[in-house]
Amino acid sequence: MNLLPFGKLAAAKPRTFVPSDIDLGDWPLIAPLFDQLETRAASAQSVAALEQWLLDWSELSAALDEESSRRNIAMTCHTDNLEAEKAYLYFVEHIEPHLKPRQFELEKLYVAHPQRANLPKPRYEVFDREVQNHVELFRPENVALETEEAKLGQQYQKLIGAQTVNFRGEEKTLVQMGRYLEEPDRALRQEAWERVAKRRMQDVEKCEEIFDQLVQLRTQIAKNSGFKNYRDYIFRLKGRFDYTPPDCEQFHDAIAHEIVPTVREIQNDRKRQLKLEKLRPWDSAVDPQNRAPLKPFAEVGEMVSRTQNIFNKLDGELAAGFQQMQDLKLLDLDNRKGKAPGGYQSTLSEARVPFIFMNAVGLQRDVETILHEAGHAFHAQATRGEDLYPYRNAPIEFCEVASMAMELLGNEFLEEFYPVVGQASSLSDSTANKDLKATGKTPVPLPSAEANRARKTHLEGIIGFFPWMAVVDAFQHWIYTHADHTRAERKAAYLQLMDRFGGDIDWTGFEEARAHSWHRQLHIFLYPFYYVEYGIAQLGALQVWANSKRDKAKALNDYKKSLTLGGSRPLPELFSAAGCKFQFGAATIKPLIQLASTELKKF
């Protein structure tokens, strides 16, 4: 039974080391390949031989990674399918525990290899640094703990994926309920929000139990590796060579000083337009002028075709990449019961093609998500010619520049979803186009009011994201540097951060829902400390966007060029290739927020 939307995909390059017919879910068949690599390491006495050894290792790693990705995709697309769950868990429990120590043995052989120092620089500089770091951190006793961690993560996904409510006679996923928060009818919004909040509260104890176990496991993993806390361990594990925990704390402070005041201004303006004394949790997503929700599309197919049109206008190479994904059925975009929440792009590492997963329900946020995940997909496609497997994956801090910048660059063409209705939007626009016609030039398309509304919502969302990112990141800093905390202390720490970064929202009567609102942030459960990357990357994306305001062609070319580097260069160099600074203090933040605020005033 094939639970994947796509079928068998050809490898980007024919296998020369891994047998073409091997079952990559059968460890006794996989183990001999690691045996061969270990034996061959000693005989690789020249630089060329060592490089070929690395390529064979890359081929095996890519094949195994694709097998893992296929099982994860099937499981997240069908969380209620026992066959998909069984296949995923089998790989987690019976393949991955073997892989980690065997990969570690290869890493040790590489680090100790006499030809390692003779490999050409800077080609292997980043790879060398990463492998040495892994060797220094690996502990065999952590393998079983990491397996338990993955199983707890799957329990969380299954718990959240099963959450539904009965709303006005129909069963709805919590994602589907999000559309009601954009309705002008305030009573309807409140009813929908309360129904979702009540449903989430039913699983509070289960979420807390899972997280208690995760903190305990992660703390033990860090101690086994010789670290005093999990935060310091994960910074090393993630290869954060270019920034530190104090840099993140500086980032939090800069957000508090430079961005939170702007967020409060936006909230005050919303409150004024809605004619409310206080903003409540169900007042944050509705249009402040009480217009009906934006409806960019009715069916997922329509969303795909209109997104294709955006890329056709933006860049021919990117457009061809998105079309390829459709042709190969590498998209699963509709929301349905039994599907895991959220959205992601996963690379099928042997075929070297991207897959996009999301939960579209017809909201403007879906348009932002497809542009975002397409940016990740373009990144994967840009590195398709790279044969060294680790270099086909950039650091998350830069991966998210690829996706977030694509949201901003694609937004220029939102009229594909919101066509201009009627005449010119202003006399000046009309006059400008008459002048262009007189000189034989193509008239500039006039902005659509609804497209501008979407752009404004998006920019406000970017500004509003930074404080939430600071909450999530700072909360995790606190959690793992206070690993013996009680649930009451954890709750107090979270609420303190919400007070600092949360803006002017009145949660009266729903204090417990506010105190546990972090449960919906899957990164805290599944990907610890994977969230500040979004903030760092958003600064990069805003810089790409700012560059495009000055020179559109150069900004796009720099963006595409930077994607081709994959993970082959350190973060500051990747940012520089994209025309950005790898800095996230107040000096970087202030002019970008000023630009965003200036643009908001145009809408």
pLDDT in tens, 142-182: 989 999 999 999 999 999 989 999 999 999 999 889 989 98
**212 falls within a domain:** no
pLDDT beyond 70 at 423 = no
**Are the CB atoms for 373 and 343 separated by under 8 Å?**
yes
Q: What is the pLDDT of residue 431?
A: 45
Q: Which of 440-449, 483-492, 584-593 has the lowest mean pLDDT?
A: 440-449
- Do 481 and 586 fall within a single domain? yes
pLDDT: is 205 or 5 the higher one? 205
| Residues contacting residue 459 through CB under 8 Å, at least 6 positions apart | 596, 599, 600
pLDDT beyond 80 at 246 = yes
CATH number, domain containing residue 505: 1.10.1370.30
What is the Cα gyration radius of the chain?
25
State which of 138, 162, 197 marks the end of a domain.
Answer: 138
pLDDT: is 435 or 506 the higher one? 506
Comparing CA positions, the residue from 530, 462, 526, 470 lying closest to residue 499 is 470
Comparing CA positions, the residue from 332, 316, 413 lying closest to residue 371 is 413
**Dist CA 207 CA 201 (whole Å):** 10
pLDDT beyond 80 at 1 = no
Q: Residue 332: in which H helix or E strand, if any?
A: strand 331-334
**Dist CA 525 CA 340 (whole Å):** 14
**Are the CB atoms for 69 and 349 separated by under 8 Å?**
yes
Transcribe 186-208 into DSSP letters: HHHHHHHHHHHHHHHHHTHHHHH
Q: In the numeric block, which tokens belong to residue 139?
A: 């502990």
- Do 134 and 258 fall within a single domain? no
Other CB atoms within 10 Å distance of the CB of residue 67: 21
**363 falls within a domain:** no
**368 falls within a domain:** no
Q: What residues make up the domain containing 277?
A: 230-292+451-603
Instruction: Please list the alpha-helical segments (H only) found in 482-531.
Output: 487-501, 511-515, 522-526
**Are the CB atoms for 560 and 315 separated by under 8 Å?**
yes
> Coil, helix or strand for 247?
helix
State which of 104, 123, 138 marks the end of a domain.
Answer: 138
Q: What is the pLDDT of residue 144?
A: 93
**Dist CA 555 CA 548 (whole Å):** 5
pLDDT range class, residue 447, cuts 50, 70, 90: confident
pLDDT beyond 80 at 432 = no
Q: What is the pLDDT of residue 513?
A: 98
Which residue type sits at 413?
A: F
State which of 110, 138, 166 marks the end of a domain.
Answer: 138
**Are the CB atoms for 107 and 134 separated by under 8 Å?**
yes
**74 falls within a domain:** yes
For the beta sheet containing 331-334, the strands, ordered from the edge strand earlier in sequence to the opposite edge, are 331-334, 353-360, 344-348
Whether the bond into 5 is cis, omega within 30 of 0: no
Q: In the numeric block, which tokens belong to residue 31?
A: 């183990």
Q: Residue 600: in which H helix or E strand, if any?
A: helix 586-600
- What separation, in Å, do the N-terminal and C-terminal C-alpha atoms of the chain show? 50
- Do 114 and 244 fall within a single domain? no
**180 falls within a domain:** no
Q: What is the mean pLDDT of residues 75-90?
A: 93
Q: What is the pLDDT of residue 7?
A: 85
Q: What is the pLDDT of residue 579?
A: 97
pLDDT beyond 50 at 260 = yes
Task: Report the DSSP beta bridge partners of residue 165.
Answer: 172
Transcribe 66-82 into DSSP letters: HHHHHHHHHHHH-TT-H
**225 falls within a domain:** no
- Do 133 and 273 fall within a single domain? no
pLDDT range class, residue 445, cuts 50, 70, 90: low
**Dist CA 448 CA 417 (whole Å):** 10
Which residue in this structure is represented by tokens 């942030």? Answer: 521
pLDDT in tens, 311-333: 999 999 999 999 999 999 999 99
Arithmetic mean of pLDDT over the chain:
93
**Dist CA 463 CA 460 (whole Å):** 5
Q: What is the mean pLDDT of residues 10-29?
A: 96
- Do 126 and 251 fall within a single domain? no
Q: What is the mean pLDDT of residues 127-139?
A: 94
- Do 473 and 597 fall within a single domain? yes
Q: What is the pLDDT of residue 440?
A: 52
Question: What's the structural domain count of the chain?
Answer: 2
Q: Which of 234-243, 297-306, 392-401, 437-446 has the lowest mean pLDDT?
A: 437-446
Other CB atoms within 10 Å distance of the CB of residue 515: 17
pLDDT in tens, 521-541: 999 999 999 999 999 999 999
**Dist CA 351 CA 403 (whole Å):** 21
Which residue in this structure is represented by tokens 């209705």? Answer: 421
| Residues contacting residue 125 through CB under 8 Å, at least 6 positions apart | 570
Comparing CA positions, the residue from 558, 553, 563, 550 lying closest to residue 314 is 553
**Dist CA 70 CA 64 (whole Å):** 10
Task: Report the DSSP beta bridge partners of residue 332.
Answer: 357
**598 falls within a domain:** yes
pLDDT in tens, 496-524: 999 999 889 999 999 999 999 999 999 99
**Are the CB atoms for 554 and 381 separated by under 8 Å?**
no
Task: Report the DSSP beta bridge partners of residue 548.
Answer: none
- Do 119 and 260 fall within a single domain? no
pLDDT beyond 70 at 441 = no
**387 falls within a domain:** no
Q: What is the mean pLDDT of residues 35-45?
A: 96
Q: What is the pLDDT of residue 547?
A: 97
> Coil, helix or strand for 598?
helix
Which residue type sits at 27?
A: W
Comparing CA positions, the residue from 247, 232, 115, 226 lying closest to residue 571 is 247
pLDDT beyond 90 at 2 = no
pTM of the model: 0.86
Comparing CA positions, the residue from 142, 135, 124, 158 lying closest to residue 54 is 124
- Do 101 and 240 fall within a single domain? no
pLDDT beyond 60 at 425 = no
- Do 457 and 600 fall within a single domain? yes
Comparing CA positions, the residue from 567, 565, 560 lying closest to residue 321 is 560
Q: What is the pLDDT of residue 28?
A: 97
Q: In the numeric block, which tokens belong to residue 468?
A: 């939430």
- Do 596 and 485 fall within a single domain? yes
